Amino acid sequence: MDAHARRRDHAAMPSLDLTDLELETAARACRSLAYQESEAAKRLENPTVRAPVENTAQRAAALAVKFERARKGVKSGPA
């Protein structure tokens, strides 16, 4: 898939209308997943097996940051 197709697919996605509580819940779930996956990765000795688990932990942590930023935007938005 080329960059143009990715942009087109991304633009077609509807925006999510989440409440503050839903954003907090999603962020916590992502943080929990990131922690669990990073702990699982630490127990793996084989780097080939460990790398995908570490990548999952990093993606979950990055998604948590996005939810937390969105939550701050909801709090500071119009009341």
Q: How far apart are CA 48 and CA 34, in angstroms?
A: 19
Q: How far apart are CA 34 and CA 55, in angstroms?
A: 9
More confident residue, 53 or 75: 53
What are the tens digits of pLDDT across the range 15-72?
Answer: 778 999 999 999 999 999 999 999 999 999 999 999 999 999 999 999 999 999 999 9
Q: How far apart are CA 70 and CA 65, in angstroms?
A: 9
Residue at 15: amino acid letter = S
Tokens found for residue 2: 């080329």
pTM confidence score: 0.75
Tokens found for residue 24: 């907090």
Q: How far apart are CA 31 and CA 24, in angstroms?
A: 10
Confidence of residue 10 (pLDDT cuts 50, 70, 90): low
Q: What is the pLDDT of residue 6?
A: 58
